[in-house]
């Protein structure tokens, strides 16, 4: 008998002819996440992936594998002799290893992929269930509403397990093109990146700062946020742009109330340039309608108008409380709420325009050398790899 980690995929299974590419991607992403832990072998057996790791590394492996998108659940399974007696003994071992079965109800659920196996699924469930009852006197069977299920998979080999650790679902990274995440130090943008990554988008990040108006520590915080995100997305290329000159020119030449909208249009244009030069398909922001004065339909429209590339806003219709829940779940919340100034908050006007008119904004931009400001900012861009 041998303890293994098993990985079950969701939507992947449905994706007809792309199936193999998706499995390969998921497998690659899993290998990447567990490389540092170290494993002995990794193999597929009828739609599940099995990882052979030393027993003391199983818990950590499960934790890391769970972060890979495309996975429905991960389990610690016992591979055993493929006979009814072997399975019965394994069932007891699995319960003892788990240790949380006292005074609970259960049922056995058998998945018999190998149709040549000596018994049919209901017979296997009944035999194994009976054996467990004989050997554990504080357990009862309840086939309708059991406290837990004991799973038996019969394939080329036989596997027994109880716990299913939920994954995030979604699609494996790399199966849906590439996106440039506009990553601030706030709560929203890491969540936005997570959500698109979950749909298979490979993520790069773009951060704007105003050093020395904003501190190095504030930049560090954003890098740490990217690092948290990279546990799910894999390595992230992060572009950093200093916006200080742009803010100064806006302040000198334009209406203060338009600062936010004008600077956002600069951000989008710079982002678009980076996308074009690096074969990135879309930009992603953490905007959510009505959350702050600048996030109105009118602003979103005027911001969009600055570029041709699609801008994805996965949080646009979400409430803050729901966004916070996700940020807690992915582990970015505590980092996001650390109090460091953001490049925009430093220059945020007291009363920003909330219903900007494109005509006015274009007029203001005429007072700026937009192309030169963008060229200058990009020429000083810094690029780092985060994993």
Q: Which does 285 bind (CB under 5 to 8 A by kind): ligand ATP, Mg ion, none?
A: ligand ATP
Q: Per rule CB under 5 A, is residue 294 in the interface with Mg ion?
A: no
For residue 21, what are the contacts with CB-CB under 8 A and spacing of at least 6?
A: 175
CB nearer to ligand ATP: pick between 186 and 234:
186
Q: How far is the CB of 285 from ligand ATP (least distance, A)?
A: 3
CB nearer to Mg ion: pick between 188 and 202:
188
Q: Is 128 left (phi over 0), alpha (psi -120 to 50) or beta?
A: alpha
Q: How far is the CB of 357 from ligand ATP (least distance, A)?
A: 19
CA distances from 2 to 27, 46, 66, 79, 124 (A): 21, 18, 21, 5, 21
Q: How far apart are the first and last CA of the chain?
A: 36
x-or-dash string of contact with Mg ion, 186-225, rule CB under 5 A = x---------------------------------------
For residue 323, what are the contacts with CB-CB under 8 A and spacing of at least 6?
A: 187, 188, 191, 288, 315
Q: Judged by CB under 5 A, which stretch of 18-26, 52-60, 180-188, 242-250 contacts Mg ion?
A: 180-188
Q: Which does 294 bind (CB under 5 to 8 A by kind): Mg ion, ligand ATP, none?
A: ligand ATP
If you search the block for the tokens 């389990």, which residue do you land on?
75
Q: How far is the CB of 284 from ligand ATP (least distance, A)?
A: 7
Residue 244 phi/psi, 5° resolution? -55, -50
x-or-dash string of contact with Mg ion, 132-171, rule CB under 5 A = ----------------------------------------
CB nearer to ligand ATP: pick between 6 and 294:
294
**What does the CA dihedral 115, 119, 123, 125 come to, rounded to 10 degrees?**
-70
Q: Per rule CB under 5 A, is residue 184 in the interface with Mg ion?
A: yes
Q: Judged by CB under 5 A, which stretch of 67-75, 181-189, 308-316, 366-374 contacts Mg ion?
A: 181-189
Q: How far is the CB of 283 from ligand ATP (least distance, A)?
A: 9
- Give the Cα separation of 89 and 306 in Å (integer): 67
CB nearer to ligand ATP: pick between 272 and 287:
287
Q: Per rule CB under 5 A, is residue 129 in the interface with Mg ion?
A: no
Q: Which does 293 bind (CB under 5 to 8 A by kind): Mg ion, ligand ATP, none?
A: none
If you search the block for the tokens 């274009």, which residue do you land on?
362
Query: Is residue 148 classed exposed, middle or buried when 0-12, 13-18 and 19+ CB atoms within 10 A define those classes?
Result: middle
Q: Judged by CB under 5 A, which stretch of 4-12, 75-83, 177-185, 196-204 contacts Mg ion?
A: 177-185
Q: Per rule CB under 5 A, is residue 271 in the interface with Mg ion?
A: no
Question: How many residues of this chain bind Mg ion (CB under 5 A)?
Answer: 2
The residue ranges that bind ligand ATP (CB under 6 A) are: 182-184, 186-189, 206-208, 285-287, 291-292, 294-295, 342-344
Q: How far is the CB of 320 from Mg ion (least distance, A)?
A: 12
Q: How far is the CB of 384 from ligand ATP (least distance, A)?
A: 15
Spatial CA neighbour of 36 closest among 6, 12, 67: 67
CB nearer to ligand ATP: pick between 119 and 346:
346
If you search the block for the tokens 């398909």, which residue do you land on?
281
Q: How far is the CB of 366 from ligand ATP (least distance, A)?
A: 24
CB nearer to ligand ATP: pick between 206 and 246:
206
CB nearer to Mg ion: pick between 129 and 186:
186
CB nearer to ligand ATP: pick between 131 and 247:
247
CB nearer to ligand ATP: pick between 75 and 294:
294
Give residues in contact with Mg ion (CB under 5 A).
Answer: 184, 186
């Amino acid at each position: 008998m041998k303890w293994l980690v098993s990985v079950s995929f969701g939507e992947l299974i449905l994706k007809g002819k792309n199936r193999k590419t998706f499995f390969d991607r998921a497998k690659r992403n899993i290998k990447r996440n567990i490389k540092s832990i170290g494993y002995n072998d990794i193999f597929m057996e009828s739609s599940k992936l099995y990882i052979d790791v030393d027993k003391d590394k199983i818990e950590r492996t499960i934790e890391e594998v769970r972060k890979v998108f495309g996975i429905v659940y991960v389990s610690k399974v016992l591979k055993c002799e493929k006979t009814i007696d072997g399975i019965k003994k394994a069932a007891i071992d699995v319960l003892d290893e788990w240790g949380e079965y006292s005074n609970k109800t259960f049922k056995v659920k058998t998945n018999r992929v190998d149709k040549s196996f000596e018994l049919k699924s209901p017979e296997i469930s009944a035999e194994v269930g009976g054996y467990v009852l004989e050997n554990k006197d504080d357990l009862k069977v309840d086939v309708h509403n059991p406290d837990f299920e004991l799973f038996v998979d019969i394939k080329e080999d036989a596997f027994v397990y109880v716990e299913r650790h939920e994954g995030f679902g979604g699609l494996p990274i790399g199966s849906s093109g590439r996106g440039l995440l506009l990553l601030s130090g706030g709560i929203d943008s890491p969540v936005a990146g997570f959500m698109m990554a979950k749909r298979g988008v490979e993520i790069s990040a773009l951060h704007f700062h105003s050093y020395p108006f904003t501190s190095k520590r504030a930049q560090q915080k954003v890098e740490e946020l990217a690092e948290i995100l990279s546990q799910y997305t894999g390595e992230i290329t992060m572009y950093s742009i200093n916006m200080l000159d742009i803010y100064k020119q806006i302040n000198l030449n334009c209406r203060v109330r338009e600062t936010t909208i004008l600077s956002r249009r600069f951000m989008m244009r710079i982002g678009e340039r980076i996308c074009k030069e690096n074969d990135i398909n879309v930009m992603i922001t953490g905007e959510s309608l009505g959350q702050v004065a600048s996030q109105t339909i009118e602003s979103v429209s005027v911001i969009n108008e600055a570029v041709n590339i699609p801008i994805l806003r996965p949080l646009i219709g979400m409430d803050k409380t729901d966004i916070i829940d996700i940020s807690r779940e992915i582990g970015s919340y505590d980092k996001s709420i650390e109090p460091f100034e953001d490049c925009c908050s430093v220059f945020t006007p007291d009363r920003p325009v909330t219903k900007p008119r494109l005509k006015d904004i274009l007029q203001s931009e005429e007072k700026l050398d937009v192309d030169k400001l963008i060229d200058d900012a990009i020429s000083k861009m810094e690029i780092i790899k985060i994993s």
